[in-house]
Structure 1
């Protein structure tokens, strides 16, 4: 029962990490692509604006084109606002990305701790089983015992229990 729940937990952890990665990518890739398109659009508009400014500089000699220049400059706040919005979005996404990376690292650490704990429990169980098996073998095939060695299964079991309590830090009352 314990081994099956342990294996089930291990299996869930093994499937959770790739699913989290796929979900993370599925969520952020479209947004990043959209931002990339917006940045390209902004770059194109900035290039267009630079060309317009160059043209305006050449036309500035002539006062008749003042309205045209004023119209071009009136568009600058709009472009600036768009640029700020894109920048803010990028900062937010960077923060979210860092948080997701930290969460993935925490999940990985948790998984490793769980697996280490499971391995430790398995090792304790194997050691206990080997000790009990050895006690049964000694009981079935008695050999000459030293005076200070336990001679019965009860004495061996109490010795095992004491050893186990020392390893776990618990006291058997």
Structure 2
């Protein structure tokens, strides 16, 4: 992109989503693309935000799925123990996907489980001391990265955006927002 077009973008506050909407307006003018303005940007933000967070997790020897398990156990509070069923419901993944994560985290010494007798899904999963330390460090660094990503918004804007996104999420999932 030329220096002039970068300058024009800054002056007009346009982004890739605005460009796509303009193209669709020219091609299919009767189609409402307001959803793209919100959901398209949400997708772009997610895709852009994930790589630095994933890289952070790698520095802690984790992938995002493993970090999710550790964070879920940590936020459950002492003794940092949940049954696998509670974990996979909280993480919204399959029990099979959880089993793979638990096996990797056990091997890494970050969680412990009772020896499997009849049904491994009912045996509690608990953070080890090493797991607690790693989860706390990774989560604190993750939140610092996310705070830096939000630095372009004022606190009021962040609060308003969080409120509106929550309302949208509740609407999409079929839960009736209260306001």
**TM-score, structure 2 as length reference:** 0.25
Larger-gyration structure (1/2): 1
Going by fraction, where is strand more abundant, 1 or 2?
2
Q: Which structure has greater helix proportion?
A: 1
Q: Which has the higher contact order (CA 8 A, sep 6+)?
A: 1
